[in-house]
Structure 1
Amino acid sequence: MPNGRYSLHDPHDGTPLGEERFQCAPGPAGWRYVAKRYRPDGTVQGTTDLTLDARHRPIRLELRSGGWQVRGGALDGVHWVRADAAGGAEATEGEDRAHAFTGDSPAFLVATARLLALEPGGSARIRLVSFTGDALAPRTLDQGWQLHSVQDHPTDSGPLPVEHYRVTDLDTGEVRDLHLTGDVLLGAPGIELEELDSPPNPRRGQPL
């Protein structure tokens, strides 16, 4: 069960935005990721709790940030409830024919990659509902994903397969490169893996 820490910064000017401390592991449902996000001054900004099923669909999502909480899951699209975290007031329900969720946490990049299950050179288009920032307001977006390459990197415990993805925002044309191995993101614009206390859990069918 890897425990680790991501550092977060503005991808344009490098301004530090804090860090995310996380745990992730396979479980009875499929995979679970829990994390707390901290501001640069050390105060808690928010939390992420994401559970995927055996087909990497989000069966349970809970986000907290800025006094708001979002709970959701996938069933004939995705469904969610956004409410005031203090007392559940102002709760609003939403649904969309999207495939999954995304947001500020690195967990969503891992989850989307595993849901698509691309082979090297393969590409796919995916529709996601995004929850970002302190307001956690929903926004639907379309992305194009390509698994550009997979390369083995030597480690003390044997070769580590590192996947290089190119992700395109189909509304703006912005392209991001990201690298991950197993169920851990190694790096992406604005995100760097700084600590990991045990090896990542392997991608299904791909031994580490």
Structure 2
Amino acid sequence: MPRGRYSLHDPHDHTPLGEEHFHCAPGPSGWRYVSQRTTPSGDPAGSVDLAIDDHGRPIRLELHAGDWQVRAAALNGVTWVRTDPTGEHAEENNAPAHAFTGTSPAFLVATARLLSLTPASPATRLRLVAFTDPVLAPRTLDQSWTLLKREAHATDNGPLTVDEYQVTALDTGEQHAVHLTGDVVLSAPGIELEHLESPPSAFA
């Protein structure tokens, strides 16, 4: 079970946004990721609990940020309930999208699992609902993912396979690289892996 810590920063001006302390593991029905987020000063800033099935579809998502909360799943596209700080005005929404995304590294692993690309695969387009900080406001966006290369790197624990993806925002044309190994993000815009206690899990 990989357990570790990511540092988060603004991908444009590199302002520190805090850290995400996580553990994740494959299970009998898919994969689960749980994390606690902290501010740069170390105060609690929220949490992420994401479970996906064997095909990468989100079967349960729960996000907390401040007093805001989102509960979501793949249902008629994707469906979510967002609760305001008072808890009096919960709103349910639905969108014809494939999955969810946000600032957590968990969403990059889940999207890669959903697409199951190979280096020979063409660029694949998908629609995602992003929950943006700090109030988990939903926003629908379109991306294109391409697996550029898959390389094995020698380590003390045996070879480690690293996938390099090119992700394109279809509304702006902006492109960025995402590096994954198993169910761990090595690097991505705004994300750096700072500590890992055990090797990443490999998906079947």
What is the aligned partner in structure 1 of residue 150 from structure 2?
150
CA offset digits 1:63-93 (Å, max 9, x no partner) = 01131100010022000000025x5311000
TM-score (norm 2): 0.96
RMSD across aligned C-alpha pairs, in angstroms? 1.1
How far apart in 2 are the matches of 1:14 and 1:80? Answer: 30
How far apart in 2 are the matches of 1:112 and 1:149? Answer: 17
2:75 maps to 1:75: yes
How far apart in 1 are the matches of 2:12 and 2:132? Answer: 18
2:57 maps to 1:57: yes
List alignment gaps of at least 5 residues for structure 1: none
The residue type equivalent to 1:181 in the other structure is: T
Q: How does 1:96-175 map to 2 (within 5 A)?
A: 96-122=95-121, 123-175=123-175
How far apart in 2 are the matches of 1:71 and 1:55? Answer: 20
How far apart in 2 are the matches of 1:17 and 1:61? Answer: 22
CA offset digits 1:103-128 (Å, max 9, x no partner) = 11000001000100001142200100
8 A contact 1:102–1:109 mirrored in 2: yes
Identity %: 63
Q: How does 1:184-195 map to 2 (within 5 A)?
A: 184-195=184-195
How far did 1:29 drift? 2.3
Aligned structure 1 segments of 4 or more residues deviating by more than 3 angstroms: none
Question: What SS is found at the alignment partner of 1:109?
Answer: helix
What is the aligned partner in structure 1 of residue 22 from structure 2?
22
TM-score (norm 1): 0.94
How far did 1:62 drift? 0.3
How far apart in 1 are the matches of 2:119 and 2:88? Answer: 46
How far apart in 2 are the matches of 1:173 and 1:185? Answer: 23
8 A contact 1:29–1:51 mirrored in 2: no
How far apart in 2 are the matches of 1:89 and 1:104? Answer: 26
